[in-house]
């Protein structure tokens, strides 16, 4: 998986591409630390180039998302597609997602698909 980060006056944009799995844990922990340390108030996760997400990858993505929220960031999710879009729209996922999460009634920010 590749992670690209752009930080500007509007906030942080994080692009994920490739396959997110157990081998990406260290990179995602580093990303969580960077998001927590950033003064940006907005964080946009772009998943449009993410091809695959396994269970560990999903857990780590939820962790990074939660870290950003805990650091006071507004988080937007953009580019949900294919398998990942179906996963996030699943009723079973509703029980495991932290609140707020895109697609849930309490989502604080819009997301695009």
Here the tokens at position 49 are 């180039």
Does 41 sit behind a cis peptide bond, omega within 30 degrees of 0 on the bond before it? no
For residue 81, what pLDDT is reported?
81
Domain edges within the chain: 2-94
Q: Please determine, for residue 18, whether its predicted confidence score (pLDDT) is greater than 50.
A: yes
Confidence class for position 91, pLDDT limits 50, 70, 90: low
The CATH number of the structural domain formed by 2-94 is 3.30.750.24
User: Cα 82–106–71 angle (5° rounding)?
Assistant: 90
Q: State the average pLDDT for the chain.
A: 80
Angle at CA 58, nearest 5°, toward 102 and 5?
A: 75
């Amino acid at each position: 998986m590749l992670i690209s980060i752009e930080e500007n006056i509007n906030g942080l944009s994080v692009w994920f591409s490739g396959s997110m799995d157990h081998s990406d844990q260290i990179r995602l922990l580093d990303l969580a630390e960077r998001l927590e340390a950033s003064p940006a108030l907005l964080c946009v996760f772009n998943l449009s180039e993410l091809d695959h997400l396994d269970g560990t990858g999903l857990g780590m993505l939820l962790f990074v998302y939660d870290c950003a929220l805990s650091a006071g960031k507004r988080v937007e999710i953009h580019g949900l597609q294919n398998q990942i879009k179906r996963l996030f729209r699943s009723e079973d996922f509703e029980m495991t997602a932290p609140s707020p999460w895109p697609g849930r009634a309490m989502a604080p920010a819009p997301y695009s698909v």
